[in-house]
Copies of this chain bind each other. A is one copy, B any other.
Amino acid sequence: MNGKWIQVEGGVTAAKGFRAAGVAAQIKYAGRKDVALIMADRPSVAAAVYTSNQVAAAPVRVDRERTATGIAQAILANSGCANACTGERGIQDALSSARFTAEALGIDEKLVLVCSTGVIGMLMPLDRLEQGAKEAARTLSRDGGNDAARAIMTTDTVSKEFAVQVEIDGKMVTIGGMSKGAGMIEPNMATMLAFVTTDAAISAKMLDRALREATAVSFNSLVVDGDRSTNDTLIALASGEAGNAEICDAESEGYRLFADALRGVCVGLAKMMAKDGEGASKFVTVRVIGAATEADAKCAARAVAKSPLVKTSWAGMDPNWGRVIAAVGYSGAEVDDQRAQIFYGDVCAYDAGKVAGAETLAAMKERMRAAEFTVTVDLHLGDGEAEIYTCDLTHGYITINADYTT
C-alpha cells in the first residue's frame, strides 16, 4: 500500500528546481508571515484541484483557467484575507496580484497562480500584498520551504510539510508539499491550501490523474468540522529535473511509483491537518469496513467523523459508542444493528446487539487516553471500506471560532 517511497526532510523546496519564501506583509495582522511565494526555475507541468463550493473565491476562479493549460511557474499565496465574495473587484485584485508578482519575477503573468485564505468578504489590501510579493521575490531560496509553509498558516498551530523520495527509472525523484488547514475542513476540499512540488518528469495528464487519486484518500478523507470553504486549492508543479523518462502512461511502473509517493505526501499532510484541527486534542481515524458498498463505507465514516455528539464524546474520553452507531444509522449507509460491530482501538464496544459491560467501557476509556486512536465500524454486509482522518470537538474549537473576524 505504501509503495517504495521513503520520507525525507523538507517541503516545497525539497524537489530540484524550486525556490520559496515567506514574508510578513501585514495583510491582516502585524508581525507574522502572511505572504508565501513558490517558484520553479522554469515553466513547469501543473495540475490542480479546487473547492467544490459554488461560492468560489476570486483567486480560485482565476487559477482554474490558468491551470487548465497544464503549465505554471509560480504560486503567490496569502493568509489573512480570502478575497472571496468580493465581486468583480476581487477578480481584478487577483489578476493584479498575479501581474505584479510576474513583474517581480520577470516571467509571464499567465504562469503565476494566486491563492488566498482568511476572512471572507474583505477586500485585498493590494499595496501591502504587492510589497510582500516583491520582498518574497527578492528572498526566494532553496531553503525557503518552511518560511513559505509558515506564511499560509491561519489558525494552524504548526506549519505542515511532508516530503518523500522514490526511485523511478533509475533516478531519485523527490516530491514535497506544504499545507494549511485547521477549520472549515471537510471532504471535498475545505479551507485548505496545499502545494506540492516534484522534480519528476511527468505529463500534465498523468500529474492531474495522480493528484486526483491522491486527493480522494487524503484531503478528501479529512473532516474537522464539516464546513467546506470558498478557497480550497491544491496545486502540484513538476519541474522534470529528476531526469527520469517522462511518465505518460497510467499503466506504467513509473506512474504507479509516482502515484504511490504522491499519495504518501498528501496523506502525510492530511493527517497533520487533522491532528492540528482547530482545538483538537485527539487525532482519530474512523474506519468503516464490511459495508455493502464503498460509497456506503465513505458516507458512514463521514457521518461518524462529522457528528458533534461523537466528536465531543472523544474530547471527554467518554466511551459513548451509541453515538457512533446512531451516526452510522442516519448516514444513509445500509446498516443492520443486529450484525454491526464497533471497535475503539482493539476493544469491541458493541457486538451485534450485545451491549458493552463495565469492564469493556473501562478498556475503551483507556484506549481513548491516547492522543491518537482508531474507531472501526464493521457493518458485516459486504466489502466496502473507507477511512476518514478527523479530530475531536473541544472548548478550543469554540474559543477559536466564536471570535474570529473581530
A interface with B by C-beta (< 8 Å): 52-56, 82, 84-89, 119-123, 183-184, 186, 188, 225-230, 306-309, 312-313, 315-316, 318-323, 325-330, 334-335, 337-338, 350, 352-356, 361, 365, 393-395, 397-399, 401-406
A30 to chain B, nearest CB (A): 19
Contact assessment for B355 and A123 in the assembled complex, using a CB-CB cutoff below 8 Å:
yes
A100 to chain B, nearest CB (A): 22
With a 10 A CB-CB cut-off, give which of A84, A228, A312, A352 has the most chain B CB atoms: A312
- Do A355 and B121 form a contact, CB below 8 Å, given A52-B330, A395-B398? yes
Contact assessment for A225 and B308 in the assembled complex, using a CB-CB cutoff below 8 Å:
yes
Residues of B within 8 Å of A338, CB to CB, are 87
- Do A225 and B309 form a contact, CB below 8 Å, given A318-B406, A335-B55, A350-B85? yes
Contact assessment for B322 and A119 in the assembled complex, using a CB-CB cutoff below 8 Å:
yes
Contact assessment for A121 and B53 in the assembled complex, using a CB-CB cutoff below 8 Å:
no
A187 to chain B, nearest CB (A): 11
- Do A54 and B329 form a contact, CB below 8 Å, given A84-B322, A338-B87, A398-B393? yes
A406 to chain B, nearest CB (A): 6
Contact assessment for A227 and B326 in the assembled complex, using a CB-CB cutoff below 8 Å:
yes
Contact assessment for B53 and A321 in the assembled complex, using a CB-CB cutoff below 8 Å:
no
Contact assessment for B313 and A402 in the assembled complex, using a CB-CB cutoff below 8 Å:
yes
Residues of B within 8 Å of A322, CB to CB, are 82, 84-85, 119-121, 230, 405
Contact assessment for A53 and B402 in the assembled complex, using a CB-CB cutoff below 8 Å:
no
Contact assessment for B230 and A329 in the assembled complex, using a CB-CB cutoff below 8 Å:
yes
Docked pose: A210 CA to B279 CA in angstroms = 45
Residues of B within 8 Å of A85, CB to CB, are 322, 325, 337, 350, 353, 355
Docked pose: A228 CA to B307 CA in angstroms = 9
Contact assessment for A355 and B225 in the assembled complex, using a CB-CB cutoff below 8 Å:
no
Contact assessment for A353 and B88 in the assembled complex, using a CB-CB cutoff below 8 Å:
yes
Contact assessment for A228 and B55 in the assembled complex, using a CB-CB cutoff below 8 Å:
no
Residues of B within 8 Å of A87, CB to CB, are 338, 352-355
Docked pose: A321 CA to B397 CA in angstroms = 19
**Top 5 nearest A-B pairs by Cβ distance?**
A120-B322, A87-B353, A316-B402, A55-B329, A312-B401
